[in-house]
A = this chain, B = another copy of it.
């Protein structure tokens, strides 16, 4: 949600700067807009299968939905402790049908009951984590490509405008306005890249980091359940995933 707030705010600041400077009128030119957006879109279709472009935006939307608070990770550890105690007493089969409220956790529990051994479970969990990384990186690749193409087509539009202006220097009074129009494509390219595509690409990155962090901790929890080890040791093992404050170092 903050992604949309941030993008909206960035556009608000830019539009305010235009209005304060002298009105929006000087900044609106449909053909300039079409060359930047059209060129960027065309180049993107050439780069990725159309389905992947849609998925790139879908991933950004998903990433914008935010993440659970750190307290949720603590809760998952509590759940793990309970399940661990239960399985150590009553065996793995006793946790069938249990739910933690976290989809990845629950799918892992279900797989655990079917998995032939701990190694198969470990591989399944690491494949699932790799899957998040792969999909996030492919979504980010789409938005990175958009963020690269927009300023490039903006620059192409400006050079086209410059060439047209330079070929018609007869009337000096038109130089300024022609140059102003030529610069519009550069402006559009810079704005859509920096206020929209780059933030969306970065959002996918930061979302990936958080999701992988969560899933890695869950994978550790599930492995401890599978191996039936001591809850206390499990708690120590996941501690690095719950800590968010560094050890303090003294002043030099």
Contacts and interface: CB of A to CB of B under 8 A. Distances in A.
Interface of A: 1-10, 12-14, 16-18, 20-22, 26-27, 31, 34-35, 38-39, 41-50, 52, 55, 59, 62, 65-69, 102-104, 111, 114-116, 120, 123-124, 127-128, 130-132, 134-135, 138, 141, 145, 148-149, 152-153, 155-157, 159-169, 173, 175-177, 179-180, 183-184, 186-187, 190-191, 193-195, 198-200, 202-203, 205-206, 209-211, 213, 229-230, 232-233, 236-237, 239-241, 243-244, 246-252
A3 B46 contact: yes
B135 A43 contact: no
A49 B179 contact: no
Contacts of A251: 1, 65-66
Given A42-B6, A166-B179, A206-B48, A116 B230 contact: yes
A127 to B, nearest CB: 4
10 contacts: A6-B46, A12-B42, A20-B31, A22-B168, A127-B240, A132-B246, A134-B209, A141-B205, A159-B183, A163-B180
A249 B68 contact: yes
A46 B244 contact: no
Nearest to A32: B17
B176 A134 contact: no
A10 B252 contact: no
Contact of A167 (B9, B44, B45, B180): B180
Contacts of A65: 248-252
Contact of A48 (B111, B202, B211): B202
A249 B66 contact: yes
